[in-house]
Structure 1
Amino acid sequence: MRTLLALGAVLCSLAQGPVAEATQAPLPARMADTGGGTQLITAEAADTRATTGTLTWWDRRDGRWVRAGSAPARFGAKGLAEGATRRQGTNTTPTGLFRLPYAFGIAPAPAGTAYRYARVTDRSWWCQDNASRAYNRWVEGLPPDCRAAEAERLTAYRTQYAHALVVGFNYDRPVRGRGAGIFLHVNGRGATAGCVSVPAEAMRRILRWADPDRRPRLAVGTRGGPTAITRY
């Protein structure tokens, strides 16, 4: 009898596992804030030491969040860090909830892209010089107060910046030393310097899907702990 009861308990627990997973609310429904729009991108890592995870894009339909697609994601070579206290040059991806100001790329915009899309030229740079008035901004032609050693020439990353979305981290009111040039872009050879990256086809799909009128946001975080994605 004891053996049968024990076996029954094991079978019951096995049956409950998949049911619990299936009935769990979708990730956006468990988040503290999704930005108020009807589109959302989540980039979730196991913990702050992880350099890989999952990126998922979601639609809000009839009051419910529905997954529109997903792809494996890559993060900074040194993992993730709380966005509010992150330091520049640490090769960490900032956590938080961010707007997506505009898209850009070396390649033409994928057919159906609704976002404002800036084409990269030979004169396109992203200034990361803390002393420059153009800090954390795209510039066409490097300004005198932005040193080339403290800036990123966008054409130097032809694979990664074939297509990209600017992430609004430290963007609206830049804090010097917090970080600059954080994007959602195409995978390179490995982990990023602090951005989030996905395979090329996934990036094209995201650009065709994203609708600025629906105010999409990007949420970056971990499964649990102080940087849990559900806290943002």
Structure 2
Amino acid sequence: MITRRSPVALLAVSLLLTGCGGGAVAATDHSSDPAPAAPSASPSASSEISAEAAPRQLPGVGPKTLARIPADTEQVVLVTGRGANSSVASLALYERTDDGWQQTVSWAAHNALRGWSNHHMAGDLRSPIGVYTLTDAGGLLKDPGTKLAYDQGSGFVSPGTGFEGEPLAGSFDYVIAINYNRQPGTSPLDWTRPLGSSRGGGIWIHVDHGGPTHGCVSIAEDHMKELLRTLDPARRPVVVMGDAASLSH
């Protein structure tokens, strides 16, 4: 665990340039051709054997998206939006095994109010579609036991109410920075924007407040703590995120 602290003043600038509060090597499908059926085996039995032998792939993830996942990645947070303009999503964690990708958890989630975008811009109220590394975390509360670099501080506050009138207090108790338009290896509160401020930033996974976000992905607090404890930088975790149709390409 690496602990960092940032000045509270950093948040004041960060919130003005963030979504909610914020590179890849081609992967190869190693599925083999089905083995010929034994003389005594029926066609249906042969199909079942072939299906069991094939590596398990990430459900709903098409070849173009799959190719953006680094070859050395062993943990994938898969966020699948219900629709291009929907703020409702699911978040599942997959871990690479000798048999392919194995799902370990699946939870309900929210994303941005207006859905998803292939070209996220500041203030568009859409979450960016893509594959992004996960290296840094933080929050108002103390580190729950993550292996990610963790910045605890009073700068992680979220005043006011959400789009449905729900209080936002506690939304940033725990956050994981999504490396969209940010400098990896820095606090989630760092407001460096390599693509420029117009492309937004401050895209996080954070505690759900019961409604749509400005651009982030949110899940229940207990789930955030579990995700933080599970992600391991040695396993090169990434988030694969977007609406179902976009991820299928």
- TM-score, normalised to structure 1, is 0.69
1:148 matched to which residue of 2?
A: none
Please give the alpha-carbon distance, in whole angstroms, between the structure 2 residues aligned to 1:192 and 1:81.
14
CA distances 1:69-125 after superposition (whole Å, capped 9, x unpaired): 11001010111111xx221111111111111130101111113x111110022xx3x
Please give the alpha-carbon distance, in whole angstroms, between the structure 2 residues aligned to 1:28 and 1:67.
13
CA distances 1:38-83 after superposition (whole Å, capped 9, x unpaired): 001010012211110110011001151000111001010111111x
Q: Is the 8 A contact 1:29 1:65 kept in 2?
A: no
Amino acid at match of 1:164: V
Q: Is the 8 A contact 1:96 1:221 kept in 2?
A: yes
1:69 matched to which residue of 2?
A: 105
- 1:99 correspondence with 2:133: yes
Please give the alpha-carbon distance, in whole angstroms, between the structure 1 residues aligned to 2:74 and 2:150.
21
SS in structure 1 of the partner of residue 107 of structure 2: strand
Q: Is the 8 A contact 1:28 1:65 kept in 2?
A: no
Measured after TM superposition, the shift of residue 176 of structure 1 is 2.7
2:219 matched to which residue of 1?
A: 198
Q: Is the 8 A contact 2:157 2:169 kept in 1?
A: yes
Please give the alpha-carbon distance, in whole angstroms, between the structure 2 residues aligned to 1:38 and 1:28.
18
Amino acid at match of 2:240: A
- 1:154 correspondence with 2:154: no
Q: Is the 8 A contact 1:120 1:154 kept in 2?
A: no
Q: Is the 8 A contact 2:111 2:212 kept in 1?
A: yes
Amino acid at match of 2:226: R
2:232 matched to which residue of 1?
A: 211
Please tell me the root mean square deviation across aligned C-alpha atoms, in Å: 2.2
Q: Across the two proteins, how many residue pairs are aligned to each other?
A: 175
- 1:229 correspondence with 2:247: yes
2:176 matched to which residue of 1?
A: 165
- TM-score, normalised to structure 2, is 0.65
Amino acid at match of 2:247: I
| Structure 1 unaligned spans of 5+ | 1-18, 125-152
* Greater share of strand: 1
1:10 matched to which residue of 2?
A: none
Measured after TM superposition, the shift of residue 221 of structure 1 is 1.2
The 3 A distance-change label for structure 1 pair 161 and 171 is same
| Structure 2 unaligned spans of 5+ | 1-47, 160-167, 184-193
SS in structure 1 of the partner of residue 227 of structure 2: helix
* Greater share of helix: 1
Amino acid at match of 2:138: F
Measured after TM superposition, the shift of residue 35 of structure 1 is 2.5
